[in-house]
Amino acid sequence: MVAKGYGPLVGLAVILALLVALVPSKAPTAAGVGGTAAPKGDVVTGVKTSDNCEGGARQTKEPYSPPCIVFDGDNGGATSKGVTKDSVSVVYREGNLPSLFAVAGTIAQKLNIRDTNDDIHRTVQAYFEYFNKKFETYGRKVTLQFYKGQGDQLAEFFGGNPEAANADALKVGQEIKAFADLSVLTVPYAEALVRQQVMAIPPIHMSRDWYKKHAPYTWGVFVDCSRLVDTIVDYAVKRLFDKPAKYAGDPAMRTQKRKMAIILPEQPWYKECGDAGEAKLAKLGLKVDLRINYKLDIGRLSTDAPGIVAQLKAKGITTVACGCDPILPLFMTGQATQQGYRPEWFVAATALTDVDLLGQIFDAEQWRHAFGISFLGDIYKGLKAESYRAYKSVRDDEPAFISDVLYYPILLFFLGVHMAGPNLTPETFQQGLFNLPPMEGETGTWSFGPEDYTATDDAREVYWDPKQISPFNNAPGRYITSLGGKRFYGDAWPAGEPSFPITP
């Protein structure tokens, strides 16, 4: 049974319909982006790197391991709010998601998510134990506190309930005096934490300008929506526009030039990125044929889906790009089959819609005509997964099913602490992540830098194969990488029509 009443963690897993690993941020130019070696030198202010760690010149043997640092000295004591000589205070907010569980329960059942509160608490605590043991924290222990918040996170997710979000942030900043909150899913709460000068990780798919405005306090694992839009526009211009929709389910569409639609939440921070994408297309003399802004309301998605599909069908749209939450495609694809509408589905890599487990629950008749981009790599379970190995190195039992969702924001935070050096402040945390060498792993290439406050960098071209077995759950249905397995950053996508073995 999914844990009811549990705020950020189960809420994250269910709102994002769960699961897996997150994504990577800014670096290379094309396939095989290099940069996994840890350089010698002063990459951490005032601290020299070493080659005396279990990973040699890197801290551990894991893919997302920072440069090796072995510190022995004075850490400077209390360097920032929430930082003392002995500890760094981190919180997780537990809150209510009142109207979520009717839909969430259905999704969780389809995805076989059975995590309890205890499973999630235990898994988060295990990761803190792991990173405190493995990464350099300069004589301090990063401590974890769960606290019960006033905020309705679902209301906040839609931009409302700012008073309760502000009250919770005041508690974190003034009463608990935490250095960071790692459960930040909503804009009102993130911005309230910034006003309290508390680190906020990880807001989801915010714009590049939003992260810059709130630097150095906000960081994300998911790619920022500005980079996401830039990537999609470059891909679409080079590989989709003015070409036939030959992967549509409807034979009549396969010889037609593509008519493209984009579906986006109506929230202003997502609208901003959508507007920027359309402006980029306009400069090239191109445009999408239909844009639908939908209300991101969990309770309405099933009832709004029929009308959205009817609009797409009436406009003769051949290619649907849903830059949306992971629940709407479940209802849309089912409705499309009911209405006899069989377009191409463009995978836009938003909110884990490019994860095998979610593709497996979308309407099978529709999703066999899906292709697009993914900022992830193949996501594994068991010892092939970094999150699983980390957990098993400190515990003998099994982690929560959503262990990847829990692991990567914690990894991001400890990377910042490790790279900040003994004088830990939000500013040194930022500079530390900027100094972090690019790293390649299960979720692609990670790097950070000025104007880059999210982990994700490069993307791959994918298509859906309903028969291939997923390495995540050994069930049929998997995103397959095309273009020889290469990954691409920025505007490096090759020109030319994509080629997939998608059959009618």
pLDDT of residue 296: 77
Vertex 42 angle, CA 41 and 48, to 5°: 80
Q: Is the pTM of this model over 0.95?
A: no
Judge whether residue 293 has pLDDT over 50: yes
**Tens digits of per-residue pLDDT, 140-151?**
999 999 998 887
pLDDT of residue 432: 96
Judge whether residue 196 has pLDDT over 60: yes
Neighbouring CB atoms inside 10 A of 170's CB total 15
Provide the CATH number for the domain formed by 226-378+458-488 in this structure: 3.40.50.2300
Neighbouring CB atoms inside 10 A of 333's CB total 25
CA dist 290 and 47 (Å) reads: 54
* Helical pair 426-435 and 403-420, crossing angle rounded to 10 deg: 100
Residue 382 burial by Cβ neighbours in a 10 Å radius (0-12, 13-18, 19+):
exposed
Least confident of 224-228, 355-359, 402-406: 402-406
Question: Per-residue pLDDT averaged across 334-348, rounded?
Answer: 97
**Tens digits of per-residue pLDDT, 173-189?**
999 999 999 988 788 89
Q: What is the DSSP letter of 367?
A: H
Question: Per-residue pLDDT averaged across 322-329, rounded?
Answer: 86
pLDDT of residue 265: 86
* Residues above pLDDT 90, as percent of the chain: 60
Q: Which has more confidence, 207 or 185?
A: 207
Give residue limits of the domains in the chain. 226-378+458-488
- Rounded to the nearest 10°, the torsion over CA 387, 393, 395, 400 is 10
Give φ, ψ of 396 to 5 degrees: -95, -15
CA dist 403 and 497 (Å) reads: 37
Least confident of 36-50, 110-124, 266-280, 351-365: 36-50
Q: Which has more confidence, 225 or 53?
A: 53
Q: What share of the chain is helix, strand, coil (3-state, %, to 5)?
A: 35, 20, 45
pLDDT of residue 103: 45
